[in-house]
Structures are given as C-alpha cells and as structure tokens.
Structure 1
Amino acid sequence: MPTFFSSSPGFTARRLAPLAAALALAACSKNDIAIAPPAVPDAVVFTVPGLYPEGLQYDATGGRFLVGSQTAGALGAVADDGTYSVFADDASLVSTIGLYFDAPRNRVLVAVSDPGYNKQRTTAATLRKLARLAIFNRDNGQLVRTVDLGGLRPNYATHFANDAAVDGQGNIYVTDSFAPLIYKIDAQGTATVFLEDARLAAPAGAFGLNGIVYHPDGYLLVAKSDAGALYKVPLSNPAGFTVVNTTGLNLSAIDGLRLQDNNTLQAVTNAQAKVYRLTSADGWATATLGGTFATPPQYPTSIALRPGADGYVLYSNLNALQANAQPPVSQFTIARLRFQ
C-alpha cells in the first residue's frame, strides 16, 4: 500500500499550508470578480405569417418566451434569436388569449376563446360563446386538462375567456370579457363563478374585463377595457370590490397587467399603443403614474416579466387582423420596456 503522508514531524503541515493558501487565494479571487448578469435583448423579432399572438409569458428555466395565437391556437416558444417553434397544441385550443406561467406548479395556463379567426377550429357552437381554460405541463407541453367555464353561466349569450392569474394556494382566476364574470378553478380543477356583477358588464360587442393579476396581500387587480378602469377585488369578499382611483390617468383600452412588485403595476393600453407603470402607496386604493413606454401602433397586448429587465411587451398587430389586412402580418415583436 502506498504511503500518502509521512509520519515525520511537521511534514503534513508543511505540505498542506501552500495548498490551503492557494485555495484561499482562489476563493478570494473568485469572490472579487463581478459576474455580469446575462445580457437581455432590446427586442426579439420572430416571423410566422398570420400568427397574431396575444398572450405572452417568459420561462426563465427554458430561456424562452411563450406566445399564443388567435389564428392557429397553438402555443409557441420564441428564443432570443427569433426562432419560433410549437410548444404545445391541441384541438381544444381554438384561439389562445391570455397566458400565465405558474412556475411553482410547473404549469402553463391558457385562456381559450373563439373570436372566429381560427378557420380550422371555429364552430357555430363556440363562436363568441367559448370560455375555456387549458392547463399544460411546462416541461413537455403535454395537456393536463381543460376546464369549461362559459357553461357555468349559459344564460349569457356570449363569452370570451381573456386572462388568468393564480393565488398563493394555486387557485386560478379567469376573466370573461363578454360577460360580467370572473371564474375560479381550485386545485382539484373544479370551476365556479367567483364574481358576477352587472356593474362589470360591457356594451354588446365591446371588451369588458381583461387583464388580471393576484396581489400577495390577498386581492386581485382587474382591468376593464371599455371603461378604462382598474378594480381591486378581495379574495375573501369579491362582492366588495372597489374601483382603484386613477384620477388624471387615461387608461382607455387597458389590456394586459403585470405586477412588478407589490406597489408597482404595469398596464398595457392597446389602442393607445402605450404601457403605463402605475404605483400605489395605499394598497391600491389609489394609483399614480410612475412612467410610460410608447410603442408603435401595433396593438400591444401583454407583458412578461424577465430577470434583468423591467419587462417585455408583445406587439400583437391584432388591429391588422381585425381589419383583415392583406397580406397578413408576418413579423411580430417582443420589445423590452424602458419607461420614461
């Protein structure tokens, strides 16, 4: 058997001392070097003719954006170099609207509706009547389940599932733009009507309830497009919802929302082609302007938060789709927010 250490006095200490010093120096040097965070792009441009995505999320683990499509229904993955690939697809995806990446539960939530733009999947039974939630596995894009929502209130002539949020217990909340409803899906997949109130209704053909986020203090913040309003809805008493006082702000056509932190909310206004940064010092009883980001007139819809940036906004070009522009738009942009 070979001898690794001599038994002579002082040998071990003499041999190990330089090694210990070298290790200490290496550790010190490593700690002294500032490691720059990964660079984030100013914009990601991807080309898929006629895709018309509305929803946007960022998957930090996968290093990709996720986008939906009003015309194809499929969920797509977009890399920073603009490469687009299909992440998930299913016949139940007529038009994919709002997306939510629920990282703690490894799932992607998709609000599904039928505005009539997916010619392969629209039907008379679903046209402007569909409100559905689809849940996918984040890792492999497999469909976990779909949940019918519009069927909870068949008395309304039209439905449109628009956006989703998740509370701390994993309950999902979904807005309906054509009916004055917010749905709730619990951890077991059971759907109920969380809030129904005539004050949340919109005129026929107009979009009412839209973007939604969960605030960790126990309430939802919900956008209403036609009114340019923001609502605070307590989870413990949804019927006691209140209007956030935004006096002096024009939030008409408010669409997607993202909570940057507990006191900062990002809000897209699609027809205005502008993203607002709102701040509150009183638990969202009131909100004031903290900055704006102007976009091209390409109908911005959704915001995704991403490490290393204030966030990104999707230019959906849905105005071109609604106008039946020919040829269809082929390039779409995910732009980094830089508030002024």
Structure 2
Amino acid sequence: MAKTLLTPLPLRLSIFIVVFVFISQSSISESRERHVITFRSPTLYPEGLTWDPTSNHFIVASVRHGTFHTVTNNGVIQTLTSSASNLPYNPIVLGLAFDTRRNRLIAAFNTVNTPYVAAFSLHRTSNSLTLLFLTHLPTDSPSSAASNDVALDPHGNAYVTNFGENLIWKVSLNGTASVLSLDRTSPYSYAGLNGVVYLDGKELLLVVQSNTGKLLRVDAVNGKMSSVALPKEVELTSAHGIAVREDGVVFVVSTSEVWVLKSEDRWGRGELIDRITLESEGFPSSVSVGNKGRVYLLYGFAEEGMTGKSKGQEREWFRIEEVGSNEESEAQSLWPFLMIALALLYFLFWRFQMTRFVNNLDKKHS
C-alpha cells in the first residue's frame, strides 16, 4: 500500500519563520548603522543638546549667540524665537534639559560673573518660546561661578551644576534656587562638577567631576555626596557630559572617548560595559538620549565658538551623531541568529513529529 504523503508546512509555522527572518535581517542591518545628522547654520557653534520626544527632534543652543534651535532627524534646523525682553544680552548657553511633562525647556545661562537658569514654555506651531522665569543663581564667588549642565526630576525641579565652585543648585518648579550640595573635599578648579543626570525612581543624581575624574552620587533630597567606586581602568578626567538610558545604562563623554557604565547597587559601585574612542575634532562634549533609546553626541565645535579660534573661515556645518557600545551591538546582533535557530529547531521537531505520525498511520492502514 502507498505511504501517506507528509502534509505541507502549516501556514502559521511558515509565517512564523518568515517573520523571524525578516526581523533578524532588519536588526542586523540596524545594529551596523550609526545615525548621523548633519545640519548647516553658519557660526552657530551649538553646545547644549536635548531631545524633545513629543516632536521627535533635538533642541540645541548656540554658545556664540545664545539662541535656541530645533534639529530634525534629517538635519532641518529652525530657530525658536523668543520675545522676552529681560534675557541677558549675548549670554553663553551651556546645558539644556527638556521637561516633557510640562512642555518646558530649561537652560543654563551665563554672562560675565553671573550664572542664571531659565525656563521657557515651548510653542511648536509657532516655533517660539515664552519665558516662564529667569533665576539668578546664588554664589559666593561670582568671578568663578558658572552654570553648566541641567537635569530634571519628575516634580519639575532642576539641578544645575556649577563647575567653578564645585556645587549643585536646586531650582524649584517656580524658579526658586538654593544650593543642594557642595563638594568641599576636592581642590578648586575651573572645571569641577560638570555633567549631571537624574536617576528616575532612585532620587539620585550622578555627576561627573572633570578635574578629579570622579563620578559622584548625590542624594537629590538632602544633597549628600559620595564617590562611585569605579574599576581602575575607568579614568573620567576631562569628562564633560553624561546621559542615562531608560534601562539605567549611563554614558559619560569627554572630547576623546565615551565610557558606558552600569550599576547593580544604586551606584555605590559602577561597572564598565564598554569604552568607545571618539573623533576629538568637533569637541563632542554634549550627550543626549534620543528616539528609541539611542544615544547621540553633539559635534558643535563649541570650543572654537567660545575662543573665536576657528581654523580659517567660520564654521557652517555641525552634526549630531549616534554613539553605540560595541559590546552591546555584538550582543544584540546575536539574538536574531538565536531566534532563527529556535525557529529551525521548532521546524525540525514538527517534522520529526509529523514523520512519526505518518509512519504510525501507514502501519495502521497496512
């Protein structure tokens, strides 16, 4: 008697395999490509960088002109206008943070001997800003004080670093400023406390200290400060910016490299995931988390903008460039192959089961 033919591969299993192959190819391709945004704005020299998730674009601030601009993923740049008459004349704008919950842009302003923090309401339809408050930040040493980077907590409080005096200001939702934390143990330096991030759910700040290379853990409630224990190979001297992804992985950037760090104990101790060498030309000191948790650096040539020492003509082109961990990319590139292997194993198991079923059926018929 003729043997029963094997039934065709079930439609559901076929779709399952095709979908996994498609996802795998897409993931492999995506993991190999770094997103680079180039944009043209003569003499802009941006230093501040933040991400507006509502509009899916970046916001940058000019260190030369004290202006704010949006930059889309394909490099279209537009100026955010402001009619505020009480803003400092020709300020140096450094750190930026975007308050998604309240649609506010927070900026660290500086004029000669006077540090400020400003909050603006963003109007997307008109590409304009309305000033909510401009706060003069208290200091005992105006000649060395400088507001640098900004971080926000869920309540709308802003945390602003002062890299001249090694302190952190806390600015309330309505603009009231006070000193939250002061490092009296480290030597004085013109570049002390620098980049800062707020860790959601932990009420903690992480702050990089450029002159000592320390990563500091600061209680956002009482200001208690302590050093994060780092591996010996992690040397954060000259670090500037810092950003944290939703998964808790932290990126610390200097003008020549990025350190990718994580912690399992609320940042009592940090672990090194990866160390990435950067192209130092362009002064990539600002870092921000953009769309889909991707991490971006701003190559704004801000040092040229502040010193006026440009090479030849004034610069016109700048870029925002995705940075990724090689270690993480390798790990991500493995899982598609694992899923394909699982799909094939599933197929082989199905084939084996169907073969047994057909053989048993043939035996019964015979």
Q: TM-score range by the shorter chain?
A: 0.7 to 0.9
**Alignment partners' CA distance in 2, 1:208 and 1:323:** 23
Counterparts of 1:310 and 1:192 in 2: how far apart (Å)?
A: 33
Q: 1:135 to 1:201 in 2, by over 3 A?
A: farther
8 Å contact from structure 2 (residues 246, 293) kept in 1: no
Give how far 1:334 is off. Answer: 0.2
Aligned to 1:73: 66
- In structure 1, the gaps of 5 or more residues are 1-31, 115-126
Q: Does 1:167 align with 2:167?
A: no
Contact 2:210 2:240 survives alignment (8 Å): yes
1:263/1:281 contact within 8 Å kept = no
What is residue 132 of structure 2 aligned with on the other side? 144
Q: 1:307 to 1:80 in 2, by over 3 A?
A: closer
Q: What are structure 2's unaligned runs of at least 5 residues?
A: 1-18, 327-366
Distance 2:186 2:316 in 1: 35
In structure 2, distance between residues paired with 1:130 and 1:289: 37
Give every structure 1 segment of 4 or more consecutive aligned residues whose post-TM-superposition deviation is greater than 6 Å: 34-37
Please say if 1:105 is aligned against 2:102: yes
* Residue identity matched to 1:327: Q
SS class of match (2:62): coil
**Residue 49 (str. 1) matches residue 33 (str. 2):** no
Counterpart check, 1:96 vs 2:85: no
TM-score calculated relative to the size of structure 1: 0.78
Distance in 1, matches of 2:104 and 2:38, equals 25
* Alignment: residue pair count: 288
Q: How far apart, CA to CA, are the structure 1 residues paired with 2:303 and 2:152?
A: 29
In the superposition, relative to structure 1, how do residues 189 and 319 fare at CA in structure 2: closer, same or farther (>3 Å)?
A: closer
Write the distance in 1 (CA, Å) between the matches of 2:197 and 2:186: 17
Measured in 2, the distance between the counterparts of 1:294 and 1:274 equals 4
Q: Identify, as 1 or 2, the structure richer in helix.
A: 2
Query: SS state of the match for residue 245, structure 2?
Result: strand
Partner amino acid for 1:328?
E
Q: How does 1:269-284 map to 2 (within 5 A)?
A: 269-270=254-255, 273-284=256-267
| 1:26 corresponds to | none
- 2:7 maps to what in 1? none
For 2:303 and 2:143, how far apart are their aligned partners in 1? 25
> How big is the shift at 1:185?
1.1
Pairs within 5 Å for 1:143-292: 143-149=131-137, 152-200=138-186, 202-203=188-189, 206-216=190-200, 217-238=202-223, 240-246=224-230, 247-261=232-246, 263-270=248-255, 273-292=256-275
Normalization by structure 2: what TM-score? 0.73
Which residue of 293, 311, 334 corresponds with 2:295? 311
Query: Equivalent pairs: percent with the same residue?
Result: 27
Which segment drifts farther, 71-80 or 54-63? 54-63
2:116 is aligned, of 132, 141, 145, to 132
For residues 80-127 of structure 1, give each alpha carbon's deviation from its aligned partner in whole angstroms, at most 9, with x where no partner exists. 22222111445436111010011011101001113xxxxxxxxxxxx2
CA RMSD of aligned residues (A): 2.4
SS at match of 2:292: coil
Distance 1:264 1:222 in 2: 14
CA distance in 1, matches of 2:279, 2:169: 33
Q: Secondary structure at the match of 1:333?
A: strand
Report the Cα offset of residue 323 of structure 1.
6.3
Which entry has the higher C-alpha Rg, 1 or 2? 2
Higher normalized contact order (CA 8 Å, seq sep 6+, divided by chain length): 2
Structure 1: how far apart are the matches of 2:171 and 2:303?
31
Alignment partners' CA distance in 1, 2:130 and 2:67: 12
For the 8 Å contact 1:263–1:283, the answer to whether it is kept is no
Is the 2:94–2:149 Cα contact (8 Å) retained in structure 1? yes
